[in-house]
Amino acid sequence: MQESYRVTAIRWVTDEGSDPVRGVVKCIEFIFEGAQSLFVDPEWYFGLHLSGAGAYEKWILDRDETNWQEHLSKL
């Protein structure tokens, strides 16, 4: 049986400098079938930082900011 990697949901964070239409967000997480996830942090010092399960929640908890919004899109 072949595993499916279909994206079932996307979570991302925006602030006043974000432009989601152009792909400019604070961070984004892709959630796949089977509850696998890929978290992308574009603010990482060395470029894009890729992580797995729990990274989105850790990113949120590590921030003191209050001027951003969380978004969720189920596909």
DSSP SS3 for 43: coil
- How much is the pLDDT for 2? 60
d(CA 45, CA 30): 21
Residues near 68 by beta carbon (within 8 Å), at least 6 away in sequence? 13, 14, 15, 26
Nearest to 29, CA basis, from 66, 71, 67: 71
Domain boundaries along the sequence of the chain: 7-74
- pTM to 2 decimal places: 0.87
Q: Are 49 and 41 in contact (CB under 8 A)?
A: yes
The distance of Cα 73 from the centroid of its chain, to the nearest Å, equals: 11
Q: What is the pLDDT of residues 12-62, one digit of tens each?
A: 999 999 999 999 999 999 999 988 999 999 988 898 999 999 999 999 999
